[in-house]
Chain A
C-alpha cells in the first residue's frame, strides 16, 4: 500500500480528516524551509504539499506568488526541491509528500527523469496546476508506473459528465478547489463545498481534500466535517512573509504554531471539540 493510501486509510479508521499544509520549497531559503518541513508532521500534518517555485504561477494569488519569488531569489530549483525530500525521508518514512507546481518545471527537467528521481527520493504524489485531464497522460502514466499518484482537481465548474472522466483515471486522492479563482483570495463557501463533496463521493471511493480559501481554524474545522482533508496554503506562507525580518527561528516557530492550531481544529472537528 502506498504511503498516501495508508495514511488516508488510517485517518478513516480514526474518524478524522487529514490536515494538509502547503509550503513553498525554499521559501524564504532552503535551510529555513527544510526546518519547517521536518517539523510539520509533529505539528499535526497528515500529508504535506510542497510547492515547486515557478516564475509565472498563473493559478496562485499574491501570497503564494510572493513565496515563489522569495524562494527563487534564494536560489531554489527543482533539483534542490527533490534533495529536500530525500533529506526529509531519512527521518520520516510515513508522512506522504505531494509536490505541487506547474508543468514547465517538470518539462524542463525531463518528464521521465523527473518521475524516476521523484519516486527515488520518496515523493508520493504530484499536483500539476496547469495539466488538466486532456494533457496529463504524459505525466500520469509514467508516474503511476513508479508508484507516484497524479492528483486530479475537481472544481466548482466541473459538471457531472466531466467529473466521471476525472475520477476514471484518478489515483491517490482528489483535490476539490473550493472557489473559482486563484489561491488564497476568496473565502471557502461551506454549503457549496458540502454539495460538491457529496457529488464526488457518489462518483468515486477516493478520498477528497478541499483547498483554496481556507485560512482559519474555524474554516478548517467546518471543512473537516465535510471532506477527507483540509488544505491550507496562503495563510501558512503568509506567516513566512510576516516574519521575514525576524529571522529563521521566529519564522519556523510562527509557521508551526499556525500549523498546530489548524491541525488541532481539523482533527477535533468530527468529535465536537473545535478549538478556535
Chain B
C-alpha cells in the first residue's frame, strides 16, 4: 500500500475500498483469481523490470509522452482561460486505452495466462486490447453490445483485422453494461487460463486501483508539462467520465494540489431531466454492480437502468468507485453535457484546431466551452483529450444529416 499521510492519493484500503465504495462483489468462483491478481499486481508494481518493460512499450510502441498542446484558437474563441489539450488522441490506437492494456497484458504474461478477454463500448478499449494481444501473440475475445457494434463499425473491423474474435452481445440494452456481464460470464467459466483486461476503473478490487495506476501517466505528464511550459500548475483539469479511466488518470496526480480544481464531465444524453442520459454520478445513487460499490443508474428496486449517450464510451450506468468517493468528498465536481452540446464541441474543435476529438472527449471540451469564458485570461485549463474522433464520423454524419 502506498500510504501517504493526509493524502487523497493513498486509497484504496487493503480490502479495496475507497470510503464506502469499491470492494470485491464477485462470485466465489472468481475470488481466488481476484486475490491472486492483486498479489501479482502488487509484486509487479514493485518490480523494476516490470516497470522498465512497461515504460519501454509506452515510449516506443504507444508513442508516449503525448504532447500537451496549447489550443490557441479555441482559447481566443472562448476569450477566457488559456486552454491546453493533453493529446491522448495521438497515442497508438487513438486513445488513452492503450496505457492500461499494455500494463495488463504484461501482468497476464507474468501470471502465465494464455487467453485474453475484454468488454468494449465505443470499441476503443476493444481495439487497444486486440492490439496488445496481437503484439504478444495471445488469442483474444472481445465482447461488444450489438447496438455498439452497429454505431462503431470501423472499430469492429479493426479488432477483427488485429486477429480478435468479436462476440456480439444481445442481452439487455446490448451496450457496454451487457458486454461486461458477458465478459464476466466468460471469465468465471475460464478462470484457469483467461485474463480479463477490464477497460476502465470499475470492477472488483484491484482493477479500479490498477487501471488508475496505469492511466496516471496522463496526469503525471500533464503536471510536469504544465510546470515546464507555464512554471505552475493548471487552475482547472477536465476530463470526460463514463467508467472514468482517462479522468482518474488525469486527476489523480493533482488530488493533493489544493489549488487545482477538478471537473469530471458525464454524458447527459437528451438531458439529465429526461429518462435518456448517462449521468451516473450527477443523477445516480450508490449500489453494487460488476464487482464494486459505486454510483449507479438504478430504479427503486435496484434494477439497473439503461444509460443513453451519443457516445458509446460514456454509455454506462455505473462509474468508478474512486470517482464516487471523490464526489462525496467534494474534491472533484461532476457535470453533465448533452449529446447536442458534445456534437457542437466536436464540430468546433475540428474547425478551430484541426483536431477531430472522440465524442467522449468532446464532452470535456463542451464543458470547458461553458466555464473557460468565465475564467481570467491568465488562468490555465488542461483538458484530457482522451481519444480521436475517426471512429465517430459515421454516427456524427448521421446526426448532422450528412450521408457518407
Co-assembled chains A and B: yes
Known contacts A55-B172, A105-B301; decide if A132 and B185 are in contact (CB<8 Å): no
Bound-state CA distance A77–B24 (Å) is 25
| CB pair A130 B26 closer than 8 Å | yes
Bound-state CA distance A55–B289 (Å) is 10
A154 touches which of B28, B177, B298 (Cβ 8 Å) = B28
A-B Cβ contacts below 8 A, count? 115
Cβ-closest chain A residue relative to B304: A55
| CB pair A135 B29 closer than 8 Å | no
A159 touches which of B25, B27, B32, B178 (Cβ 8 Å) = B32
Residues of A within 8 A of B303 (CB): 54-55, 72
Q: Is A189 an interface residue (CB 8 A)?
A: no
| CB pair A180 B287 closer than 8 Å | no
CB distance from A61 to the nearest CB of B (A): 7
| CB pair A157 B33 closer than 8 Å | yes
**What is the interface size of chain A, counting residues whose CB is below 8 A from a CB of the partner?**
43
Residues of A within 8 A of B25 (CB): 103, 130-132, 135
Residues of B within 8 A of A33 (CB): none
| CB pair A77 B301 closer than 8 Å | yes
| CB pair A56 B192 closer than 8 Å | no
Residues of B within 8 A of A153 (CB): 27-29
Residues of A within 8 A of B178 (CB): 56
Cβ-closest chain B residue relative to A79: B301
CB distance from A200 to the nearest CB of B (A): 13
List residues of B (15-36) whose CB comes within 8 Å of A's CBs. Answer: 15, 23-33
Q: Is B349 an interface residue (CB 8 A)?
A: no
Q: Is A129 an interface residue (CB 8 A)?
A: yes
Q: Is A156 an interface residue (CB 8 A)?
A: yes
Known contacts A58-B27, A135-B25; decide if A162 and B32 are in contact (CB<8 Å): yes
| CB pair B302 A109 closer than 8 Å | yes
CB distance from B355 to the nearest CB of A (A): 37
B185 touches which of A54, A103, A182 (Cβ 8 Å) = A182
Bound-state CA distance A57–B191 (Å) is 18
Q: Decide if the interface of chain A is mainly helix, strand, loop or mixed.
A: loop
Residue interface bits B277-292, CB-to-A below 8 A is 1, else 0: 0000000001111110
| CB pair B171 A65 closer than 8 Å | yes
Bound-state CA distance A182–B291 (Å) is 16
Give the interface centre of A132, A133, A166 by most chain B CB atoms within 10 Å: A132
Residue interface bits B286-330, CB-to-A below 8 A is 1, else 0: 111111010010101111100000000000000000000000000
Q: Is A155 an interface residue (CB 8 A)?
A: yes
Residues of A within 8 A of B172 (CB): 55-56
Bound-state CA distance A57–B178 (Å) is 10
Q: Is A104 an interface residue (CB 8 A)?
A: yes
Known contacts A105-B302, A108-B301, A109-B302; decide if A181 and B189 are in contact (CB<8 Å): yes
Residues of B within 8 A of A61 (CB): 185
| CB pair A107 B287 closer than 8 Å | yes
**What is the interface size of chain B, counting residues whose CB is below 8 A from a CB of the partner?**
38
Bound-state CA distance A79–B301 (Å) is 8
Residues of A within 8 A of B138 (CB): none
| CB pair B302 A107 closer than 8 Å | yes
| CB pair A134 B15 closer than 8 Å | yes
Residues of B within 8 A of A102 (CB): 288
List residues of A (158-208) whose CB comes within 8 Å of B's CBs. Answer: 158-159, 162, 166, 177, 180-182, 185-186
Q: Is B106 an interface residue (CB 8 A)?
A: no
CB distance from B130 to the nearest CB of A (A): 23
Q: Is B395 an interface residue (CB 8 A)?
A: no
Give the interface centre of A55, A107, A134, A156 by most chain B CB atoms within 10 Å: A55
Bound-state CA distance A192–B72 (Å) is 67
Q: Is B260 an interface residue (CB 8 A)?
A: no
| CB pair B288 A107 closer than 8 Å | yes
A58 touches which of B32, B185, B286 (Cβ 8 Å) = B185
Give the interface centre of B25, B190, B191, B286 by most chain A CB atoms within 10 Å: B25
Q: Is B347 an interface residue (CB 8 A)?
A: no
Known contacts A58-B181, A103-B288, A185-B189; decide if A180 and B302 are in contact (CB<8 Å): no
Bound-state CA distance A158–B189 (Å) is 14
Residues of A within 8 A of B24 (CB): 132, 134-135
Residue interface bits A221-254, CB-to-B below 8 A is 1, else 0: 0000000000000000000000000000000000
Residues of B within 8 A of A74 (CB): none
Q: Is B140 an interface residue (CB 8 A)?
A: no
Cβ-closest chain A residue relative to B205: A134
Residues of B within 8 A of A185 (CB): 189
Q: Is B184 an interface residue (CB 8 A)?
A: yes
| CB pair A180 B181 closer than 8 Å | no
B301 touches which of A78, A135, A181 (Cβ 8 Å) = A78
| CB pair B184 A58 closer than 8 Å | yes
Give the interface centre of B32, B177, B184, B286 by most chain A CB atoms within 10 Å: B32
Residues of B within 8 A of A108 (CB): 287, 298, 300-302
List residues of B (51-98) whose CB comes within 8 Å of A's CBs. Answer: none
| CB pair A157 B191 closer than 8 Å | yes
Q: Is A59 an interface residue (CB 8 A)?
A: yes
Bound-state CA distance A154–B287 (Å) is 25
| A56-B177, A59-B27, A157-B29 known, 18 other contacts, Cβ within 8 Å | A56-B290, A56-B304, A58-B184, A107-B286, A108-B302, A129-B27, A133-B31, A134-B23, A134-B24, A152-B28, A153-B29, A157-B31, A157-B33, A159-B32, A162-B31, A177-B28, A180-B191, A181-B29
26 contacts between A and B (CB under 8 A): A55-B304, A56-B178, A58-B181, A58-B184, A59-B185, A78-B301, A103-B25, A104-B289, A104-B296, A108-B300, A109-B302, A129-B27, A131-B25, A132-B24, A132-B25, A133-B28, A153-B27, A154-B28, A155-B29, A156-B29, A157-B31, A177-B28, A180-B190, A181-B29, A181-B189, A186-B189
Across chains A and B, which 3 residue pairs bring their CB atoms closest together, nearest first?
A108-B302, A181-B189, A153-B28
Report B's interface with A, CB cutoff 8 A.
Answer: 15, 23-33, 171-172, 177-178, 181, 184-185, 188-192, 286-291, 293, 296, 298, 300-304
